[in-house]
């Protein structure tokens, strides 16, 4: 009793304080209740179902749980757990009928669509307890929560209990199934949980079939039953849902549905089983590109059998291999093939008592061999690779004798035959362990290694390097072939070839390492000299010598005279060597760590004078790569230096490199500044007294900071301030000699990409210094941003207009030309120059790249610093006023910037900024993005007289970044509020006499909506708003404003892509990843009537009576509707092809 009192009191406190910090405590309290009802059901039973003195405690707990279920603002996880807990309370009923009646009475109160009787208006009885009506506020999710809870844990006897009535009712069929339908059809519901509930309902039906047959005394899924039609419609219409996780629930539901149907046919003696053939015909009518058909076939196959399916559907093998040419369909096709093989072998072995493997292989070949061999020799790399990777191994496992049949097919000398032959050898070697190769096979394999085709060479290399066991020793012949192969393949142009070359060679290196360690372990156990030990030692020496040879080859290939391809390949191979043969622990990796006894092998090899990985020559070779002109070379070299090499660099090299980096980050060329930033980031963890000398840091005394990282970053910040002062005085001169973007980039990479810097921030004695550094940094970049944006606006726009619009490209060009003339003291030119001068280009680069880097720096800084835990009583590293300052910088850039590269970079940082703030526990920080959204919507609604050419490219991105930052698991209130406000604004009428050259609020609203629809992270969240957006588009196409019609066309294109998918290739006239009408209108129930209404209106106008009868009438939305409908996939249901309604229109 004391525990129940404590739980009830805790609920009272939690409901009074709805602070977000109490969410976890609320969850724990509900979970305690769940375990109480589950483990102590006998003690709880009289308190719930009988009139006792202590039931008041249970009354409070029940009301709190129901309140949580109904609370629209409560955490979703808490609501779901509360639903399960109330269901567990129902289980405590001593009599099954009492629990069933309680559910029967409770459901009308939480269902929006249910009719409440007089007896329900005051509340409902829950055993001896009472649920008052005032806490019941149905909002859609309540039904889902309660239904999910009941289906998850409610007793089978309660769900199948038959209640008195006319006719008698069963909870599982007559209460929960209608609730499941309501949940699925509710556009505001959560699709993932809705279809989880649907799958749970089918599982409970399958478990309760015996009881349901007794209750109903008939088939549940009769061929013409309404229940079967509804279930079929749900699974077919949602088989390719775009919402993550939904398709998995639909697929499992489809299998359970077929199992239930099969069990009922067995029970009631129905040999025809017409549903299976009907579904198979439906699959055949679907286009082969539809993913839904393959999961359906996998479910149907066990019931009809492979032979019957292939008789009815003879094109299945070809369609299945067609799927392997695209990665999207490859997994479902390979799963179907594996299912087919298993069922075929089972069927063939059951016919005869003893059947040879050769006979089974010939049976397989009659069905699959032509298509299979054609796929393995295909010129399509996806088809060939996927067939080899996903199907070949399964085939050889199920039908081992098929190896000989396939090998006979690939005896030619052309590239496709060789590639298929080596792929076959590879898979057979994996399955058989060690594949014996005769002289003829070895000669052909050598020929493949030196083929002109990259794919053939890689396949042959894979055969050499791979083995079933990683401890299998490489033979002397295999090592010799590798030495002949690698020098000739370092300069390949293909990026994928380089990546595959690295991964394949690494397999050989791992084999060398593991076989060497195995040999050393055996020597430790057995100290006796023997012939076997000498053979092992020779193999170990071969492996050590090969690694040294490969190391020297890589180092020689890193020379500055080598081309990009050779240097990149050499770095990749060097990375493979260091990952495999060093004992460096990489904490960020979950696997791939060095073996525990790696030090033993390193010690043995170094005693032999080998494996000097970190020699001065190797270090200098990598340092030279830091000055390369490409990001890929620099970043990979930097990662290797920081991850594996000792922290101390050669003193002279470190000082020279630091001096070069300082010059590089001050270069006006972006490539040079990126190289300088990469060197700075590499030097940061290797700082020593040589780099931190006062002359190098341009100070008169030793650094006083308590941390070497702080001293280094303080120097970069001071350098940034100097560049800013120079730009304030003379931007033209600064763009040539001291541009800003390089220093900002160096600061960003040093602050955000080095883990030790973040660790230093959390040390208590250093936190005040870091806080001061961040304040100075944010203040500096704010001043730089204001300077650059004001320069491009030429200081002419008023403060009001500055917030409303950005300068046009012509205005920016004039401002820069004025700046150049002022800097050079020239007279005003009468004629405009056609080509941009070098000065003009340098100023533009300085401005736009700096603005982009400022956005990336502030976003990354917020994301990295704010979530870090701060000890009690300490001020956060980024105080509130600093975060507000950063938000103002983002707002200014996005509202005043037109350059898309700068907007894109700034948007990436702003998205990180908003995501961090919206998910932070501090209410003050959560308010900042919400306030910015409110201000943006208010600015959008205001009347502005600027030209439409002044509309900032970043203005729509402001809204997209904020709503993208919301927690995907939440109800996304900001997105809902934003879209509703934009829809209301865009729907406002536009006068025929409105000025066509000004930026109308309605037009801007449609452009923002288009940006939201194109946002890749908002796909599932936009589903409830799709129909409203389509209605807006169709209305806007009839607008008198050209700008509005143009914006509507763009929004229509974005909606079409969102609903139907992208085109597979530019040559396709329609999207092959499209959807059928059933699936589309099943997901968006009201969209069908919207489109049909537009078509009906067009027909009615064309046949209307009056003086204009028979004349042509323009319907602006008609073309859009017909184009949209034409992109739909053909209907898979032949009986439903006329249901769209077009045939019912008047002629």
Confidence band, pLDDT 50/70/90 cuts, at residue 75: confident
Specify which of 202-211, 466-475, 900-909 reaches the highest per-range mean pLDDT. Answer: 202-211
For residue 505, is it within any domain?
Answer: yes
In the prediction, which pLDDT does 1145 show?
38
Which tens digits make up the pLDDT trace of 123-132? 788 888 888 8
With b meaning 16 or more CB within 10 Å and e meaning fewer, what string describes 764-775? eebbebbbebbb
Confidence band, pLDDT 50/70/90 cuts, at residue 569: very high
For residue 434, is it within any domain?
Answer: no
In the prediction, which pLDDT does 129 show?
86
Distances in whole angstroms, Cα of residue 474 to Cα of each of 484, 538, 541:
15, 11, 12
Task: Indicate the range of 227-231, 487-491, 534-538 predicted with least confidence.
Answer: 534-538
Mean of pLDDT values over 455-482: 90
Which tens digits make up the pLDDT trace of 820-867? 777 666 655 544 555 567 788 888 888 889 999 999 999 999 999 998
In the prediction, which pLDDT does 23 show?
80
Give CA–CA dist 77/971, Å, rounded. Answer: 12
In the prediction, which pLDDT does 793 show?
75
Residue with tokens 């300088």: 676
Q: Which residue, 574, 555, 472, is CA-closest to 513?
A: 472
- Cβ burial of 810 (10 Å; 0-12, 13-18, 19+) is exposed
Give CA–CA dist 163/161, Å, rounded. Answer: 6
Give CA–CA dist 1026/1029, Å, rounded. Answer: 5
Strand partners, 100: none
pLDDT at 388 over 80: yes
Phi, psi of 669 (to 5 degrees): -80, 130
Give CA–CA dist 94/49, Å, rounded. Answer: 8
Give CA–CA dist 754/710, Å, rounded. Answer: 13
| Residue 430: partners with Cβ closer than 8 Å, 6 or more residues away | 393, 466, 468
Contact in structure between 1043 and 1000 (CB atoms under 8 Å): yes
Mean of pLDDT values over 221-230: 86
In the prediction, which pLDDT does 796 show?
46
| Residue 611: partners with Cβ closer than 8 Å, 6 or more residues away | 544, 547, 548, 551, 581, 602, 605
Average pLDDT of the chain to the nearest whole number: 84
For residue 43, is it within any domain?
Answer: no
Give CA–CA dist 230/233, Å, rounded. Answer: 5
pLDDT at 1110 over 60: no
C-alpha dihedral, 1118 to 1123 to 1126 to 1128, nearest 10°: -110
What is the residue-wise DSSP string for 558-607?
TSTTS-HHHHHHHHHHHHHHHHHH-----TT-SS-PPPTTHHHHHHHHHH
For residue 533, is it within any domain?
Answer: yes
> For every residue of 289-351, which 3-state class applies, written as one string?
CCCHHHHHHHHHHHHHCHHHHHHHCCCHHHHHHHHCCCCCCHHHHHHHHHHHHHHHHHHHHHH
Q: At how many degrees (to 10) do helices 177-185 and 141-153 cross?
A: 140
In the prediction, which pLDDT does 854 show?
95
Please tell me which residue, 825 or 985, carries the higher pLDDT value: 985
Give CA–CA dist 985/50, Å, rounded. Answer: 57
Give CA–CA dist 273/666, Å, rounded. Answer: 78
Confidence band, pLDDT 50/70/90 cuts, at residue 84: very high
- Can you list the alpha helix ranges (DSSP code H) found in 794-837? 799-804, 809-824
Which tens digits make up the pLDDT trace of 721-735? 999 999 998 888 888
Task: Indicate the range of 565-574, 607-616, 796-805, 979-988 predicted with least confidence.
Answer: 796-805
> For every residue of 995-1051, which 3-state class applies, written as one string?
CCCECCHHHHHHHHHHHHHHCHHHHHHHHHHHHHHHHHHHHHCCCCCHHHHHHHHHH
Cα–chain center distance at 513? 36
Q: Which two tokens stand for residue 972?
A: 């996304």
Please tell me which residue, 456 or 996, carries the higher pLDDT value: 456
Which tens digits make up the pLDDT trace of 237-260? 888 877 778 889 999 999 999 999
Give CA–CA dist 735/787, Å, rounded. Answer: 13
Give CA–CA dist 676/688, Å, rounded. Answer: 19
| Residue 925: partners with Cβ closer than 8 Å, 6 or more residues away | 866, 880, 883, 917
Phi, psi of 170 (to 5 degrees): -115, 130
For residue 639, the SS3 value is helix
End-to-end CA distance of the chain: give it in Å, rounded.
76
For residue 926, is it within any domain?
Answer: no
| Residue 976: partners with Cβ closer than 8 Å, 6 or more residues away | 1025
Confidence band, pLDDT 50/70/90 cuts, at residue 1147: very low
In the prediction, which pLDDT does 531 show?
65
In the prediction, which pLDDT does 402 show?
93
Contact in structure between 903 and 957 (CB atoms under 8 Å): yes
H-run or E-run covering 1089? helix 1087-1102
Confidence band, pLDDT 50/70/90 cuts, at residue 802: very low
Please tell me which residue, 652 or 691, carries the higher pLDDT value: 652
Mean of pLDDT values over 395-409: 92
In the prediction, which pLDDT does 598 show?
87
Q: How much is the CA Rg of the chain, to the nearest whole Å?
A: 36
Contact in structure between 911 and 898 (CB atoms under 8 Å): no
Give CA–CA dist 1029/1087, Å, rounded. Answer: 10
In the prediction, which pLDDT does 873 show?
65
In the prediction, which pLDDT does 271 show?
78
Which tens digits make up the pLDDT trace of 818-831? 777 776 666 555 44
What is the residue-wise DSSP string for 1099-1143?
HHHHT--STTTTS----HHHHHHHHHHHTSPPPS-GGGTTTTSGG
Mean of pLDDT values over 490-515: 93
Q: Which residue, 58, 229, 86, is CA-closest to 148?
A: 86
Confidence band, pLDDT 50/70/90 cuts, at residue 1019: confident
Confidence band, pLDDT 50/70/90 cuts, at residue 25: confident
In the prediction, which pLDDT does 826 show?
63
Q: What percent of the chain has pLDDT over 70?
A: 86
Give CA–CA dist 717/39, Å, rounded. Answer: 62
Give CA–CA dist 888/1130, Å, rounded. Answer: 51
For residue 124, the SS3 value is strand
In the prediction, which pLDDT does 15 show?
73
For residue 515, is it within any domain?
Answer: yes
Confidence band, pLDDT 50/70/90 cuts, at residue 985: very high
For residue 520, is it within any domain?
Answer: yes
In the prediction, which pLDDT does 487 show?
95
In the prediction, which pLDDT does 807 show?
67
Mean of pLDDT values over 288-309: 90
Cα–chain center distance at 1032? 30
In the prediction, which pLDDT does 306 show?
92
In the prediction, which pLDDT does 1127 show?
85
Give CA–CA dist 582/640, Å, rounded. Answer: 12
Structural domains counted in the chain:
1
Mean of pLDDT values over 13-31: 77
Q: How many C-beta atoms lie closer than 10 Å to residue 756's C-beta?
A: 12
Domain carrying residue 607 = 488-611
What is the residue-wise DSSP string for 379-442?
S-HHHHHHIIIIIIHHHHHH-TTHHHHHHHHT---SHHHHHHHHHHHHHHHHHHSS----HHHH
Q: Residues 916, 922, 928, CA angle at the centre, nearest 5°? A: 60
- Cβ burial of 329 (10 Å; 0-12, 13-18, 19+) is buried
Mean of pLDDT values over 197-220: 90
Mean of pLDDT values over 362-371: 92
Which tens digits make up the pLDDT trace of 135-173? 666 666 788 899 999 999 999 999 988 887 767 888 899
Contact in structure between 126 and 166 (CB atoms under 8 Å): no
Distances in whole angstroms, Cα of residue 895 to Cα of each of 661, 801, 1126:
34, 10, 39
Mean of pLDDT values over 806-828: 69
Give CA–CA dist 108/346, Å, rounded. Answer: 51
H-run or E-run covering 169? strand 169-170
Mean of pLDDT values over 1007-1013: 93
In the prediction, which pLDDT does 861 show?
94
In the prediction, which pLDDT does 1069 show?
42
Contact in structure between 932 and 891 (CB atoms under 8 Å): yes
Confidence band, pLDDT 50/70/90 cuts, at residue 48: confident
For residue 333, is it within any domain?
Answer: no
DSSP category for residue 700:
S
Which tens digits make up the pLDDT trace of 876-934? 889 999 999 999 999 999 888 877 888 888 999 999 999 999 998 888 999 999 999 99
Give CA–CA dist 125/102, Å, rounded. Answer: 7
């Amino acid at each position: 009793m004391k525990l129940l009192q404590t739980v009830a009191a805790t609920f009272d406190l939690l409901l009074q304080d709805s602070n977000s910090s109490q969410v976890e405590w609320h969850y724990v309290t509900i979970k305690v209740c769940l375990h109480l009802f589950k483990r102590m059901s006998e003690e709880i039973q009289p308190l719930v179902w009988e009139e006792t003195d202590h039931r008041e405690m249970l009354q409070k707990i029940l009301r709190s749980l129901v309140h949580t279920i109904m609370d629209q603002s409560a955490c979703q996880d808490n609501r779901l757990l509360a639903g399960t807990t109330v269901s567990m309370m129902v289980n405590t009923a001593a009599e099954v009928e009492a629990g069933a009646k309680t559910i029967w009475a409770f459901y009308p109160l939480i269902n929006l669509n249910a009719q409440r009787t007089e007896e329900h208006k005051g509340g409902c009885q829950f055993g001896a307890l009472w649920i008052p009506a005032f806490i019941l506020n149905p909002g859609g999710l309540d039904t889902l929560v309660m239904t999910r809870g009941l289906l998850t844990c409610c007793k089978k006897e309660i769900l199948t209990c038959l209640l008195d009535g006319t006719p008698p009712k069963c909870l599982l069929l007559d209460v929960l199934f209608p609730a499941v339908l309501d949940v699925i059809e509710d556009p505001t519901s959560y699709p993932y949980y809705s279809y989880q509930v649907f799958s749970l309902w089918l599982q409970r039906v399958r478990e309760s079939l015996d009881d349901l047959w007794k209750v109903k005394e008939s088939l549940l899924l009769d061929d013409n039953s309404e229940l079967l039609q509804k279930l079929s419609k749900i699974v077919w219409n949602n088989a390719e849902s775009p919402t993550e996780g939904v398709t998995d629930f639909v697929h499992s539901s489809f299998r359970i549905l077929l199992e239930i149907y099969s069990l009922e046919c067995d029970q009631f003696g129905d040999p025809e089983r017409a549903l299976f053939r009907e579904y198979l015909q439906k699959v055949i009518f679907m286009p082969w590109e539809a993913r839904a058909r393959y999961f359906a076939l996998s479910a149907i196959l066990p019931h009809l059998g492979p032979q019957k399916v292939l008789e009815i559907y003879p094109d299945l093998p070809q369609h299945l291999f067609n799927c392997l040419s695209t990665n999207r369909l490859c997994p479902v096709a390979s799963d179907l093939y594996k299912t087919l093989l298993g069922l075929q072998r089972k069927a063939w072995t059951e016919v005869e008592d003893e059947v040879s493997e050769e006979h089974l292989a010939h049976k397989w070949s009659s069905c699959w061999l032509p298509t299979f061999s054609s796929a393995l020799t295909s010129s399509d790399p996806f088809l060939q690779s996927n067939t080899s990777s996903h199907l070949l191994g399964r085939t050889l496992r199920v039908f081992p004798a098929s190896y000989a049949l396939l090998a006979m097919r690939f005896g030619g000398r052309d590239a496709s035959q060789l590639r298929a032959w080596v792929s076959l050898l590879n898979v057979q070697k994996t399955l058989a362990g060690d594949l014996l190769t005769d002289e003829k096979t070895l000669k052909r394999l050598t020929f493949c290694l030196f083929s002109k085709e990259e794919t053939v060479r890689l396949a042959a290399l894979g055969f050499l390097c791979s083995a079933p066991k990683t401890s299998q020793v490489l033979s002397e012949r295999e090592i010799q072939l590798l030495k002949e192969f690698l020098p000739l393949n370092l300069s390949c142009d293909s990026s994928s070839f380089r990546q595959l070359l690295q991964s394949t060679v690494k397999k050989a290196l791992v084999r060398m390492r593991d076989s060497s360690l195995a040999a050393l372990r055996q020597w430790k156990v057995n100290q006796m000299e023997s012939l076997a030990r000498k053979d092992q030692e020779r193999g170990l020496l071969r492996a050590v010598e090969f690694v040294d040879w490969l190391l020297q080859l890589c180092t020689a290939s890193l020379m500055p005279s080598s081309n990009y391809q050779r240097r990149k390949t050499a770095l990749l191979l060097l990375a493979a060597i260091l990952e495999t043969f060093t004992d460096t622990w990489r904490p960020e990796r979950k696997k791939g760590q060095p073996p525990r006894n790696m030090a033993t092998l390193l010690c043995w090899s170094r005693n032999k004078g080998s494996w000097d990985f970190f020699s001065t020559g190797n270090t200098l070779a990598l340092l030279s790569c830091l000055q390369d002109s490409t990001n890929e070379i620099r970043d990979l070299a930097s990662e290797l230096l920081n991850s594996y090499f000792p922290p101390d660099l050669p003193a002279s090299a470190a000082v020279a490199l630091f001096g070069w980096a300082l010059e590089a980050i001050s270069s006006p060329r972006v490539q040079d500044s990126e190289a300088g930033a990469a060197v700075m980031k590499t030097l940061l963890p290797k700082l020593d007294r040589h780099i931190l000398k006062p002359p190098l840091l341009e100070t008169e005394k030793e650094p006083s900071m308590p941390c070497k990282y702080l001293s280094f970053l303080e120097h970069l910040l001071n350098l940034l301030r100097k560049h800013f002062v120079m730009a304030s005085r003379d931007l033209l001169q600064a763009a040539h000699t001291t541009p800003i973007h390089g220093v900002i980039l160096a600061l960003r990479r040093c602050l955000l990409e080095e883990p030790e810097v973040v660790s230093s921030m959390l040390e208590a004695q250093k936190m005040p210094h870091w806080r001061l550094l961040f304040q100075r940094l944010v203040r500096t970049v704010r001043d730089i941003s204001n300077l650059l944006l004001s320069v491009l606006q030429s200081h002419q726009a008023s403060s009001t207009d500055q917030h409303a619009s950005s300068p046009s490209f012509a205005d920016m060009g004039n401002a820069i030309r004025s700046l150049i003339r002022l800097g050079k003291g020239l007279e005003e030119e009468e004629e405009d120059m056609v080509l941009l001068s070098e000065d003009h280009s340098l100023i533009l680069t300085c401005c736009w790249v700096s603005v982009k880097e400022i956005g990336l720096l502030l976003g990354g800084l917020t994301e990295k610093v704010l979530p870090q835990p701060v000890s009690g009583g300490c001020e956060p590293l980024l105080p509130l006023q600093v975060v507000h300052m950063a938000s103002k910088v983002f707002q200014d850039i996005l509202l005043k910037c037109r350059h898309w590269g700068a907007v894109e970079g700034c948007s990436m940082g702003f998205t990180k900024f908003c995501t961090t703030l919206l998910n932070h526990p501090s209410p003050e920080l959560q308010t900042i993005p919400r306030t910015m959204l409110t201000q943006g919507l208010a600015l959008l609604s205001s009347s502005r007289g600027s030209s439409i050419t002044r509309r900032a490219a970043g203005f729509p991105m402001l809204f997209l970044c904020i709503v993208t930052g919301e927690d995907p698991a939440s109800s996304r209130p900001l997105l809902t509020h934003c879209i509703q406000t934009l829809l209301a604004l865009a729907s406002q009428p536009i006068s025929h006499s409105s000025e066509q050259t000004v930026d109308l609020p309605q037009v801007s609203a449609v452009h923002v909506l288009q940006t939201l629809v194109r946002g890749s992270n908002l796909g599932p969240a936009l589903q409830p708003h799709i129909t409203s957006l389509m209605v807006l588009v169709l209305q806007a196409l009839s607008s008198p404003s050209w700008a509005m019609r143009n914006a509507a066309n763009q929004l229509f294109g974005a909606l079409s892509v969102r609903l139907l998918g992208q085109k597979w290739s530019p040559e396709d006239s329609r999207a092959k990843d499209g959807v059928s009408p059933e699936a589309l209108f099943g997901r968006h129930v009201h969209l069908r009537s919207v489109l049909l209404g537009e078509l009906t209106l067009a027909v009615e106008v064309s046949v209307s009576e009056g003086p204009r009868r028979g004349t042509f009438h323009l319907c602006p939305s008609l073309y859009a509707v017909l184009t949209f409908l034409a992109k739909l996939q053909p209907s898979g249901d032949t009986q439903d092809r006329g249901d769209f309604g077009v045939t019912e229109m008047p002629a």
